[in-house]
Amino acid sequence: MTLHESDGRLDDLVQAYLDGSLTPGEAEELREILTVDPGVVERLLDGLRTDVLIQNTIRAVEEEVVAGGMDMLHPRADALDPDDGRTSTAADRTMPVDENEVLRIKEYAEYQLEAFLAEQERQRRLGLADARGLRPTLDVKSVATQVDRLMAVGRRAVVAAALCSAVAMAVVIPVQHFLSHRVVATLGDAAHAQWSTECPTRELRPGRMILEQGFAQVVFKSGAEVILQAPSTFRLQSSNSMFLESGRVTARVPRTAVGFTVRTSGAEVVDFGTEFGLMAGPQCSAEVHVFDGSIGLESVGSLGSATQQRLARGEAATVDIAGHIERSSLSDRPRLFVREMPQGRGFAVPGKRLNLADMVGGGNGLDTGVLGQGIHPLTGAVGPTRWMVKGRGNGFVRTPSLPFIDGVFVPGSTRGPMVVSSTGITFEGSPDASGYCYEGILNGALFQHGAFEVHPGRLAGAAFDTPEHPSIGMHANAGITFDLDSIRSTMPETEICRFQALCGVSDTVADYSDGTWESKKILVRFWVLVDGQVRFSKELGAVPSEPQWIDVPLGPRERFLSLITTTTDGGAVLCWSMFVEPALELRRTRSLRD
């Protein structure tokens, strides 16, 4: 193992140690890493934010002294001493306390805190504050010596000291206890929330958590509020910091919580009193959007190189595995993050189901899109209102403003096989179609009769034009292709396993045609293609309505999902076609540490 690899692994092992999940094998691995380089102990102490942790320890010690007693702060026996399975005794855990010594240490810690705050204010005035510049300097050796005097060298202290050094562990042992037991945040609202284990209590302590489905709100003691979107794996570290292994989080940080920090395996975001969204993806990748204020972004690449940048409102950035930061605008990937806890039930469930109609409306599949927003089948333009387009198509047209939709097209508008993707994939068995379209492709099936009258479509007797009951309106002839890889890129540790929907011609055809013989001749064929291959095809009538269920499995390497409506009727009268509750069903993939 190289030194850089040991540094990366050290972070994981220290986190496991702090939340009490370190196994005996990992404890032995931690011992080995700590012997690679004498300087690694110093980096360990710095990574643990020794200065802040000692203050917490001293505060707790002082409270115990005032209360009239103190129990020995001890590490997990099975983690630090895997070869020793004996149960600790009261004698092992008890140690004398010198109250004057405690007060002296407290005074020193307060001095360090005051110096830190003064330096922070100076840096802010100079406009030079950044993620790394807000750390106070600390005489680790001096404080560690003070703490070492406070602790009696019992059997467990000797075992712990053997892990790296007596000085380092004299700090780590008491810190581990308080980090594992103090409340750092509370659990707020939740929507469809399901956890990998039993639902956590309202009071949250440091440790690793996995949100399998839904949304959850966490309010840190500092005042920072975050919305977690499933699937998310994260660690609560302190009252003002967390580690996001994978998933999406939106943070709103008041002035009282300036400096709130979210770390990933390859990046660190420090907030300066703002609102931002952060996504941690596979292979150390990350993406951050700044909705208000500004943040400090630092990346650490695979070769150990670090890059720091500052992002302001309206800016976004991605970090790749090499640590390269690429800046962009929020408009490049709009509505990627949910900024408010969902108030209604909605249709989409993070970690379980995405809403394709919402993506037509410019959303991320989680009910963030605009109802009634549509895509012009001839030009790919996106607008807040519907269109009566009535024109002949010109082939496949991309929709760059909608990152999860590859493009749109009008069946029959070109000779030869129909192109259904930006990569040139064709539909070899494309049907006969008029090549004309008459209305936009809409989030929420709204259809127009005459010059002004607009009504919601109905299928199986129910209207589908709300976030709870969504639909895609696609008056034949029209086609739309979704980019499954683009969708996957926003969902770490999640796979798309199938597409499901109900399709049919709107029941309202009968209302406007009075069920005449002519209306009974209205036929629309519904198609579902995956990478140009037909997975579903059915011709359905309008009077009476003939809704049909669609269930198409999707593999991890399949990229393009195309939904198509066709008719051979040149006039295409009342071909009000609908894909009702169109959903991508999701399944979470387990990481090795789950």
262 and 312 belong to one structural domain = yes
Locate 543 and state its tokens. 């009077």
Decide if 470 is inside a domain: yes
Same domain for 400 and 512, yes or no, is: yes
* 22-to-15, 104, 312 alpha-carbon distances in Å: 8, 34, 39
Is 295 within the bounds of a domain? Answer: yes
- Residue 433 maps to which CATH number? 2.60.120.1060
**Best CA proximity match to 444, nearest among 347, 536, 573:** 347
Joined tokens for residue 126: 């100079």
Residues in the chain: 594
- 545 shares its domain with 562: yes
C-alpha 381/C-alpha 404 separation (Å) is: 15
> Dihedral through CA 421, CA 422, CA 423, CA 425, nearest 10?
20
pLDDT of res. 157: 38
Q: Is 457 exposed, middle or buried (0-12, 13-18, 19+ CB in 10 A)?
A: buried
Does a structural domain hold residue 243? Answer: yes
- Of 124, 126, 109, 9, nearest in space to 50 by CA: 109
Instruction: Give the pLDDT of residue 170.
Output: 44
**Alpha carbons 483 and 498: distance in angstroms, whole number:** 14
Tokens of 556: 């991890």
Instruction: Classify residue 410 as left (phi > 0), alpha (psi -120 to 50) or beta.
Output: beta
For residues 223 and 281, state if they share a domain: yes
H or E element: which one contains 119?
A: helix 99-126
* Domain boundary pick from 280, 310, 332: 332
Residue 226 lies in a domain: yes
Instruction: Tell whether 191 and 169 lie within a shared domain.
Output: no
Please, which residues bridge with residue 215 across strands? 191, 229
Name the pTM for this structure.
0.70
Assign 487 to helix, strand or coil.
Answer: helix
**CB neighbours of 449 closer than 8 A, spacing ≥ 6?**
455, 512, 574
The label of the residue with tokens 């919402």 reads 358
Query: Which residue is listed with tokens 């387009």?
Result: 389
Residue 231 sits in the same domain as residue 326: yes
Q: Among 93, 91, 62, which Cα is nearest to 75's? A: 93
What span, in angstroms and rounded, lies between the C-alpha atoms of 576 and 475?
A: 5
> Nearest-CA neighbor of 25 among 77, 74, 82, 76?
82
Residue 502: count of CB within 10 angstroms of its CB:
18
End position of a domain, from candidates 278, 311, 332 = 332
DSSP 402-451: STTEEEEE-TTSSSSSEE-STT--EETTPPP--SEE-S-EEES-EEEETT
User: Does 448 map to a domain?
Assistant: yes
164, 162, 170: which is closest to 146 by C-alpha? 170
Q: What is the CA radius of gyration of the chain?
A: 30
Residue 49 falls inside a structural domain:
yes
Whole-angstrom distance, CA of residue 395 vs CA of residue 414 = 6
Burial of 201 (0-12, 13-18, 19+ CB in 10 A): exposed
**Domain end among 181, 203, 237:** 181
Q: Are 507 and 458 in contact (CB under 8 A)?
A: yes
Residue 29 lies in a domain: yes
- 3-class secondary structure, 60: helix
Query: Cα separations (Å) of 276 from 203, 260, 387, 401?
Result: 24, 11, 35, 21
Give the torsion sign (CA, 185, 186, 191, 193): positive
Task: State the burial class of residue 462 (Cβ atoms within 10 Å of its Cβ: 0-12, 13-18, 19+).
Answer: exposed
- Determine the pLDDT at residue 395: 87
Are 158 and 142 a contacting pair, CB within 8 Å?
no
Q: How crowded is residue 415: how many other Cβ atoms within 10 Å of its Cβ?
A: 7
59 and 81 within one domain = yes
| Residues 120 and 85 reside in one and the same domain | yes
Q: Are residues 55 and 177 in the same domain?
A: yes
Buried b / exposed e across 139-162, counting CB within 10 Å, b at 16+? ebeebbebbbebbeebebbebbbe
In single-letter form, the type of residue at position 199 comes to C
- One digit per residue, pLDDT tens: the chain, 594 residues? 444 444 456 666 666 665 555 666 767 777 667 665 555 555 555 555 444 444 454 444 444 444 444 333 333 333 333 333 333 333 333 344 455 555 555 555 555 555 555 555 555 445 444 433 433 343 444 444 443 443 333 333 333 444 444 444 444 445 455 545 678 999 999 988 999 877 778 899 988 999 999 999 999 999 999 999 999 999 999 899 999 999 999 999 998 899 999 999 889 999 998 899 999 986 668 999 999 999 999 987 766 667 889 999 999 999 988 888 999 999 888 888 999 988 767 899 999 999 999 999 999 999 988 898 989 988 899 986 555 566 777 889 999 989 999 999 999 877 778 999 999 999 987 777 878 888 889 999 888 876 667 889 999 889 998 889 999 999 888 999 999 999 998 888 889 999 999 999 999 888 887 655 566 678 899 999 999 999 999 999 888 888 999 999 999 999 999 999 998 765 567 889 999 999 999 998 865 455
In terms of domains, do 456 and 566 share one? Answer: yes
Q: Where are the alpha helices (DSSP H) in 283-417?
A: 356-360
Give the CATH number, domain containing residue 248: 2.60.120.1440
Question: Domain tally for the chain?
Answer: 3
- What whole-number distance in Å separates Cα of residue 232 and Cα of residue 351? 9
**C-alpha torsion 364→368→372→373, nearest 10:** -50
- Claim to verify: residue 216 and residue 177 sit in the same structural domain: no
Q: What CA–CA distance (Å, rounded) separates 519 from 512?
A: 9
**Residue 192 sits in the same domain as residue 177:** no
At residue 435, the pLDDT reads 80
Residue 319 lies inside a defined structural domain of this protein? yes
Q: What angle do CA 211, 213, 215 make, to 5 degrees?
A: 75
DSSP state of 241: E
Backbone φ and ψ of 543, nearest 5°:
-135, 110
CB 444 within 8 A of CB 465: yes
Q: What is the span of the domain harbouring residue 283?
A: 185-332
